[in-house]
Structure 1
Amino acid sequence: MTHDDLKFADDRPILLKKYDLLDRAGFAQRLALAITSWKNQESLVISLTGGWGSGKSSIKNMTLEQLEATQSCQVIEFNPWQWASQEKLSSAFFEEISRVVQRQDSGDKDKKLAKLLRHYGRYLNTGAGVLSTTAKWTPVLLGSALVTTALASVADGEAAKVTIWLLSAASWLGTIAPWVKKLAGAMTNHSKSLGQQAKDNELTLGEIRAELQKLLSARTKPLLIVLDDLDRLSAEQMKAMFQLIKAHMDFANVVFLLLFQRDTVEQGLNKVGFNGADYLDKIIQAPLSVPAIANSQLQAVLSSRLDAILTDEPQLQERFDKEYWEQMFERGMRPFFRNLRHVYRYTSTLAFHSRLLRGTEVAEVNAVDLFALECLRVFAPETYAELPRYKALLTDSEPFARKDQPQQARVNHVIDQLVNLAPSPHQSAIRQLLQEMFPTLDWALTNTNYDQTEKLRWLARSRVCCDQVFDRYFELSIPLEDIPNSLLHELGRRITDPVEFTALLISHEEERQAEILQRLLGLVDEFPLDQSLAVVQTLLRAGDHVGRRMSFTNWSPRLQITRLLRLFLERHELERTRSELVIEAFAAMPGLVVMDQLLGAEAALRRNGDVGYLDDAGFEQLKTLYVEALQQVAKRDPDVFLSDENHASYLIDLNRYSVGGDGGRRWVESHVTTQARFLLFARGQVNFRTSHSGGRSTRTDYISSTALEQMMGLARCAEWLDQLDVGVMNNCELETYRLVEDALARHARGEAESWSD
C-alpha cells in the first residue's frame, strides 16, 4: 500500500498455497492424497468443518491446487448457496458445461455432446415450475457428476454411451422423488416422459443404474464433488442437499467434500425434524476440522499489517508508544483476533481511519488509542456507538462532579452498560479495553489517582481520555475550534528561537493562547535539555508579549508561560543549576512578566515552608537583577512604564524586593506628577470580581483602597481627584476616576475590603 493508494484488505479465501500464511498447505496436501487414494464401490463423504472465517475455503482451494497439479482426480465444484434462488438453474448449468466441452475440442463427438447437454438442460428445466428451490439445483449436482463420467467415456472413444448417459441421468433424477417438495402432480407427467425415453432406448431403470455403476467403477481417477457454503442454506435447502448425498452414497469412485460450520447445519437440520448431529454422523464417514491457528502465527500477520499502516503513516509512527501498545494489546485486544478474517476486517478500516487523522506533521490522535477504538468499532459496534454519549464521564470532565461513593457507583454502572452492549464472548476484553483507554476512571474502578503532571502527559499524547481531544476520535476530523497537534509540534520545534516562537504564539487570540500553552505543558519533556538556555530565554520573551486575561476555565497565557518554565526547570535536578540557568537567561533577555510570576511563586513556597525551585543564593541574586531591570525600565520612560498593564504588579515587586521595602511607593511619589500619569497609575490598580446568579455571570470592576494607600496614600489620591477636570475625560478615564472615588468613599465609611487584593 503506497502513501497515496489506499486499499482495503481482501479477506477472500486464498487460491494458491504460495499465499498460505498459516502453514496449512501441508494439511491440504494430505487431504488431496486421501481423496485420490479412494478406490471403493461406495462413495466417500468427507466434511471439513470450522467457524466463520476459519479458512475452510482456503484449505479447499489449496487441496484443489494439489489435485490439479497431480491430475489425479476430476473435480466438480458446486456452491448451492450461489444458485439457490436462481431461475432455470438446470438450463443455465448445462449451457455452461456445453460451452466448456465445445471449447476444449471442436470434434464431431463433442459438438454432438454439447448439443445434447444443452437439450438435456432445457428438458430438465421444463419441470422447474413445480419443483421447490432445492429441486432446482439437485439435478445440477447429479448432472455435474454424470457429465464428468460422460466426458471420460467420450475420451475413451465410446461415443455410443452418450445416449445411455442421458437415460441414466433421467432415471437418477427419478430416485430423489420421495424428498422433493410438492412433486407429485408434476412428477407424474415428467416420469412418463422419462419412462418413454427409457422405453425408446430399450433400457430399464435397473439397467441404467447398473451401466452408471459400471462406468464409475471403471474410472481410474475418483470423481470429487465439492459442496461449499452449506451452512448458508435455509433449513429446507440443507435437508434437500444432505438427503441427496445420502441417496447416492453407493456409487463407486465418488468422493464428496462438504464444507460448513457444523453447529449452524445441525441447528438447520433440527428445524426440519432431524436430529442434526446424529443425521450428519450417519452421512459423513470422514469428519475433519480446520486446524487451529497458532496465536503466534495470527499475531505475526496482524503485526505485519499494522507495521504497514504505520509505515504509510509516519505521523502516527513518530509518536507510537510501544510500551502502551503492548499493554493495550495483551490486556484487551488479543482475544478479538481468532482468524485471518478478523485481522483483515480490522486492518482494512483501521488504515482508512488512520489516513483521516494522520495530521500534517504529527498525528492528531494517539495511535494506540486509535487502534483500540477501531477494535471496538469493528467487533463491538454498539459499545463504540455509545461512547460519545458518556464523554464527560469517561474523560472525568463533568462540571461539579465529586469523586464520592455515589459517583463511583455511577461510573461502574455506566461501564457495565457499555460492556453489556458487546457480544458476550467479547465482554471481558471490552471491559479491559475501556479501563486501559480511560485511566481517568481508575479512581472509581481501582482506587488509583493520578497527579496533574500525568494528566498533562495524556493531553500531550492526545489520549482519548482527555476531553480536549475526545471528539476527534469519533468525528474522524479535527474540529475547527480545536488545537491541532501540528501547531503544538511547530511550537515545540521553535522553542529554542525566542522570536519565532513568540511570533507564532501571539498570532492567535488571547483565549486561544492560553489553550495552546495548556496543551504545551504536556510536551515539556520534549524540550531539548542541551539547549536549556535558549528554551528559558524563549519563555522569558514570550511572557512579555502574550495576553494576561484569565478565563473561568483556564489560566492566563502569562501564568501558563510561567508554568511551562517551572516544569522545564524541574527537569534539572539541582536548584543551583536552575538558578544559574535563569540568571544567565534573564541577563541576556530580561522578561519582566515571567520573572514577576516566578519570584512570586518562589516567595510563596518559602513562606509556606516548602522547597522552592531555586537555591537561596540564586533566589537573592535574581531578586536583585529583577529590581534593577524594573528600575531601569521605569526610569527610562515613566509614561511607557505606567501604560504597561502589568505595572501595578511591578510596583508591588519594587516594594517587596528593594532595600527598605518601599521602592515602588518612592517611584510613584517621584514620577506620578501629572494628571495623565495619575490616571494611568489608577487604571493599573483596577481589579474585578465576578458574581453568579440565575445562570448568569456579572463582572464588577473595583480599585482596592488598601492598594492605593500602600502605593500613594489616600490623601494624595484625594488631592488628585480634586484637580481632575471630569469634563475633558474620555470614557476610560472617567470610569477610572469613579472607581478611585468609590474606593475613597468606602474607606471613609469604614467598609472592610471583602475581596482579595
Structure 2
Amino acid sequence: MFDADRPITLCEQDRLNRSLFAKYLARCLLDHHDLDSLVVGLTGGPGSGKTSLINMMLEEIDVAASNLDEIEQPIILNFSAWSYSGQGQLIYNFFRRLSSTLKPLANFPQGARIIYLLELYVSFFTQKPVPQAYRMQRSFWEKLFFRNRESAYAWESGRDLTLVKAELNELLRQQKHKIIIIIDNISRLYPDEIKQIFQIVKSIGDYKNTIYVLSFDKNQVIQAIDLLDGSGGKALVEKVVQLPFEVPPILSEDLENIFADRLRAVLDMVPEGTWNLDYWASIYYSSLKYFFKNCRDITRYVNTLNFSYPRLRDVVNPMDFFALTAIEVFLPKLYFGIRDNKDLFTDLLDQVYRLDEDQIKKDRLRLEEILSREHDFPHDQIITLLEQLFPRLRRIYEPQLTFYHSDALARKLRRLCSPDLFDAYFRLSMQSGALPENEFKTILGLAKNAQAFDQALTRLNQDDRIIKLLTRLDSRVIASIPLEETQAIIIALFDNGDLFPQGRTGPLILSTAMRIHRIIHNVLQRYKDTETRFTVLQTAIAKAEKSIYIIVHELNEQSREHQEESDRFIPLDYRDLTTDQLLSLKKFTVSRIQNWANTERLIDHPKLLSLLYAWQAWSNDHSCRDYVQRTIKNDKGLVIFLAAGLHEAITEAAEKYEKNPAWESQLKHIADFVDPVELVNRAKAIFEDAYFEKLTEREQLALLIFLDLMKVPTTKLIPQTTV
C-alpha cells in the first residue's frame, strides 16, 4: 500500500533513461588504466536520482566483472558514511570497512601485508591501535626473541609515515584488482564529517589503483565547508573531484509519466462517475504539477494519499481531495491555515453578512497572513490553486471578474468549498473542528445584527463547533464586546439553545445549558440596573421561536439566587433580577410554553417533563394538568408522557439491562400530573396490542417499566412465524 522512499536497483526499473549513462560510467571505471587514485563526483539536488544511478552502475560492473579473471575483478566497497554519522569516528569506521572488505579475498596477493600497512598508516590519524585480527602473523622465532617488537601503532614501527604509505602504494600498484569505493549521501553528514570525507579521499586514502565515486549535493557541501572555514568550499570540491558529473533534475515529462503510474492504484479507488478529467487537468496543469520536483516528492504524496483517501472517498470530491493532499504534504502551514479558517475559504457566513469592500479588505489581510507562512512556493501559483478549490477567493483577488458558482452544485459534487462538506476533508487531521481566533472574532463582529449572529450560531451548530464557541464566550471576552451588541448574543442563545448538543455532565463538566447560563449571567452583570436586565431577557424570550427549555433552565438558575436554602442565595442588591421581575418573566414564559402546546410542538420536546413542571409551578390555574389530560387521550400521547416521566429509569435500563427498585420513586413524576392508576388499563392494552411492536425501544421500555412498577399482570401473544 505504501511505497518506501527507496532508489531503484536495476537498469530494467529505469524510467528516466539514465541506465545508458550508468553503464557507460561503469565501463569507463573498469577501463581506467591510470594507477593514480581517481575521484568521480555525482552531484545533484535531493531526490535527483544519484543513488539510483550508482545502483545501476554497480549492476553493470557486476555484469562486466563476471567476464574477467578473478585476479582482475574489481573490489567494491559501498561505504555508507551516514550510518556512522554523529559517532565521532568516521575515519576509523571507513578504514575498518575497507580492511574488512579486503581481508576475506582469496586472490589478493600480499593481502595480509597490505591490510596491516593500511591499518598501521591509519593509526597515526585515529590514535587507535591496529586491531589484533589485522596485525601481521609473526613466526615462532620472532615471537620468542622479539616479544615486545609487535607494532600496534605507526610510531611504534620505527618507520616514517611516508615510507609506510609508499610501501602500501607499491603493493597496491602491483595488484590487478581495482578498488572502487562508493560514498553516497555525503550531503547528509555534519559539516565537520563532510570535510573528513574529502580529507580521506584527497590525502589519507588516495592510494594506487583506487577509484572513489562520491555522491553529494554540491551546494550543500560547499556551504558546509564554508561554514567551518569561512570560505574555500567550492575550491576544495573542485580540487578533490577530478571527474564531475552533474545529475540533472528530472524532466517534467518523465515526472508526469511516473506520477501517473504511481497514482493509478489510487485512481482505481475513486467511486464511479465522480472523476472529472477537465477539472483535474485545470488544477494539475495550472499549479499542482509544480509541487513535484523529483520522485521523492511523488512518493511522499502518493503515500499520504494512500493513507487518507480510502477512508474518505465516499464523502469527498476526488479532485479536490487530491489537490488538498498536495497542500498538506508540501505546504503544511497553508494546510493548517485552511483547516482553521473555514469562514474565510467557504461561504459559511456569506449568507449572514454582505461581502463589501471593507470585508474584502479584511479577508485579504487574513489570506495574506496565511500565505506568508509559506516561503518555498510562488504565491501566485498558490493563489491560482486556491481560487479553483475555493471560488469565494475570486471575489477577494479578482472582484472585477464575473464567474458562476452554485452552492447547491458544490454540495452535490461534495466540493471542498461547500461549508457542509469542508470538515469531512480534515477528518483525519490531528486537530479538527477547531474555532480559530480569526473566525471567532469574525463571528463576534456579527453581533451588531441579531439575525446575522443567530445564523452564525446555526452554522456552527451544524459543524459541531458550537460548544467551542460557548467555551470561548464563557470567559473575559464578554467584557470586550460592545454593550449594545450583547443583547443579540442573548437573543441568539435563547432562540437556539435547545438545538445545541446537551454535552456531558459531571463534577468537573458543565452541561450546555449551564454554560449558556454562565454566559448570560456575565452579560447581564454588565448592565448596571435590574430594569435593563429584565427588558433584555423579556425581549429575548419574546423572540425565541426555536427553543423553550433553555429559557426555563435560565429562569430556574435565576431563582436559586432568590432561595435562602440554595447554595447560590445572594442578597437582593447583588441579584440579576428582583423577585417581581423574575416572577413576571416566569409568567411570560408560561405563555410561551402554552404557545408550544397549542402548536403541538411541546409533546415532541425531549425536555417535556421539565417544561411541564415549569408550566405547573409558574401558572395559577390547572392549564398544565388539562393539557396532560388532552395529550394522554390518544395512545401516542400516553406513551410519550410515560417515557418523559420515566426518563431516568428507561436510560438506566437501556444501559445496564437490569431492574432497579429505586425506579418506583419515579412514579411521582407521573402522579404529579395524573393519577397513574387511571393509565394502567390503557397502558396494558397498548402493550398487549400489535401496535406495541411499532414503538421505539425507549417507548417500549416506558410501557414495560410502568406496568412492572404498577404490578400489572400482562399477557403478550407472540405472533407465530412460518418457515
Give the TM-score normalised by the residue count of structure 2: 0.54
8 Å CA contact retained: 1:238, 1:265: yes
Question: Are residue 318 (structure 1) and residue 270 (structure 2) matched?
Answer: no
Tell me which residue corresponds to 2:283. Answer: 328
Question: Are residue 339 (structure 1) and residue 294 (structure 2) matched?
Answer: yes
Q: 1:249 to 1:34 in 2, by over 3 A?
A: farther
Cα deviation, residue 694, structure 1? 5.0
Tell me which residue corresponds to 1:80. Answer: 81
Cα deviation, residue 731, structure 1? 5.5
8 Å CA contact retained: 2:178, 2:210: yes
8 Å CA contact retained: 2:270, 2:318: no
**1:298 partner amino acid:** L
- Residue of structure 2 aligned with 1:282, choices 239, 257, 266: 239
Cα deviation, residue 75, structure 1? 0.9
Question: Are residue 439 (structure 1) and residue 391 (structure 2) matched?
Answer: yes
8 Å CA contact retained: 1:364, 1:462: yes
- Residue of structure 2 aligned with 1:223, choices 173, 179, 183: 179
Cα deviation, residue 69, structure 1? 1.5
Tell me which residue corresponds to 1:711. Answer: none
8 Å CA contact retained: 1:41, 1:252: yes
Q: 1:204 to 1:732 in 2, by over 3 A?
A: closer
Query: Residues of 2 paired with 1:150 and 1:46: CA distance?
Result: 25
Cα deviation, residue 218, structure 1? 2.4
Tell me which residue corresponds to 2:562. Answer: none
**What residue ranges of structure 2 are gaps of 5+ in the alignment?**
66-72, 128-148, 434-457, 463-494, 497-536, 546-590, 596-621, 631-723
- Residue of structure 1 aligned with 2:117, choices 140, 158, 167: 167
Query: Residues of 2 paired with 1:409 and 1:298: CA distance?
Result: 40
Q: Show the 5 A alignment for 1:448-487.
A: 448-449=401-402, 454-476=406-428
- Residue of structure 2 aligned with 1:404, choices 313, 332, 356: 356
Q: Show the 5 A alignment for 1:110-149.
A: 133=88, 136-145=89-98
Query: Residues of 1 paired with 2:292 and 2:23: CA distance?
Result: 26
Q: Secondary structure of the residue that 1:77 maps to in structure 2?
A: strand
8 Å CA contact retained: 1:415, 1:431: no
Query: Residues of 1 paired with 2:199 and 2:538: CA distance?
Result: 81
In the TM superposition, what whole-angstrom CA distance separates every residue of 1:42-73 from its partner, at most 9, and x where no partner exists?
21111111111221111111111111111153
Query: Residues of 2 paired with 1:58 and 1:696: CA distance?
Result: 75
Q: 1:462 to 1:298 in 2, by over 3 A?
A: same
Query: Residues of 2 paired with 1:695 and 1:10: CA distance?
Result: 62
In the TM superposition, what whole-angstrom CA distance separates every residue of 1:142-183 from its partner, at most 9, and x where no partner exists?
35445556666x525x46x62454134302442678xxxxxx
**1:424 partner amino acid:** D
Q: Secondary structure of the residue that 1:288 maps to in structure 2?
A: strand
Cα deviation, residue 341, structure 1? 0.7
**1:138 partner amino acid:** I
In the TM superposition, what whole-angstrom CA distance separates every residue of 1:441-489 from its partner, at most 9, and x where no partner exists?
222222245567x322111101111111111111249xxx9xxxxxxxx
**2:309 partner amino acid:** S
Tell me which residue corresponds to 2:68. Answer: none
Q: 1:33 to 1:439 in 2, by over 3 A?
A: same
Q: Secondary structure of the residue that 2:543 maps to in structure 1?
A: strand
Q: 1:400 to 1:138 in 2, by over 3 A?
A: same
Cα deviation, residue 209, structure 1? 2.4
Q: 1:450 to 1:195 in 2, by over 3 A?
A: closer
Q: Secondary structure of the residue that 2:419 maps to in structure 1?
A: coil
Q: 1:164 to 1:371 in 2, by over 3 A?
A: closer
Question: Are residue 194 (structure 1) and residue 194 (structure 2) matched?
Answer: no
In the TM superposition, what whole-angstrom CA distance separates every residue of 1:308-340 from its partner, at most 9, and x where no partner exists?
1121x242x431111111111111211100101
Q: Secondary structure of the residue that 2:354 maps to in structure 1?
A: coil
Q: 1:697 to 1:137 in 2, by over 3 A?
A: same
Q: 1:39 to 1:414 in 2, by over 3 A?
A: same
In the TM superposition, what whole-angstrom CA distance separates every residue of 1:552-603 from its partner, at most 9, and x where no partner exists?
99xxxxxxxxxxxxxxxxxxxxxxxxxxxxxxxxxxxxxxxxxxxxxxxxxx
Aligned length in residues:
429
Runs of 4+ in structure 1 off by over 6 angstroms are 700-703
Larger-Rg structure: 1
Q: Secondary structure of the residue that 1:402 maps to in structure 2?
A: coil
Q: Show the 5 A alignment for 1:504-515.
A: none
Q: Secondary structure of the residue that 1:425 maps to in structure 2?
A: coil
Query: Residues of 1 paired with 2:24 and 2:542: CA distance?
Result: 79
Q: 1:220 to 1:696 in 2, by over 3 A?
A: farther
**1:472 partner amino acid:** A
**What residue ranges of structure 1 are gaps of 5+ in the alignment?**
1-6, 87-132, 178-189, 482-510, 516-551, 554-690, 704-725, 735-757
Question: Are residue 232 (structure 1) and residue 188 (structure 2) matched?
Answer: yes
Tell me which residue corresponds to 1:542. Answer: none
Query: Residues of 2 paired with 1:214 and 1:149: CA distance?
Result: 16
8 Å CA contact retained: 2:78, 2:182: yes
Query: Residues of 2 paired with 1:344 and 1:64: CA distance?
Result: 24
Q: Show the 5 A alignment for 1:26-37.
A: 26-37=20-31
Question: Are residue 382 (structure 1) and residue 333 (structure 2) matched?
Answer: yes
Give the TM-score normalised by the residue count of structure 1: 0.52
- Residue of structure 2 aligned with 1:697, choices 519, 536, 543: 543
Tell me which residue corresponds to 1:485. Answer: none
Query: Residues of 1 paired with 2:538 and 2:264: CA distance?
Result: 54
In the TM superposition, what whole-angstrom CA distance separates every residue of 1:228-259 from its partner, at most 9, and x where no partner exists?
12111111112222112110475222111111
Tell me which residue corresponds to 2:372. Answer: 420
In the TM superposition, what whole-angstrom CA distance separates every residue of 1:709-738 from its partner, at most 9, and x where no partner exists?
xxxxxxxxxxxxxxxxx99x975999xxxx
Q: Secondary structure of the residue that 2:320 maps to in structure 1?
A: helix
8 Å CA contact retained: 2:178, 2:211: yes
Q: CA RMSD in A?
A: 3.8
Cα deviation, residue 292, structure 1? 2.6
8 Å CA contact retained: 2:74, 2:179: yes
8 Å CA contact retained: 2:90, 2:196: no
Cα deviation, residue 196, structure 1? 6.7
Query: Residues of 2 paired with 1:695 and 1:229: CA distance?
Result: 72
Q: Secondary structure of the residue that 1:475 maps to in structure 2?
A: coil
Q: 1:36 to 1:138 in 2, by over 3 A?
A: same
Tell me which residue corresponds to 2:308. Answer: 353
Question: Are residue 214 (structure 1) and residue 166 (structure 2) matched?
Answer: no
Tell me which residue corresponds to 1:490. Answer: none
Q: 1:326 to 1:451 in 2, by over 3 A?
A: closer
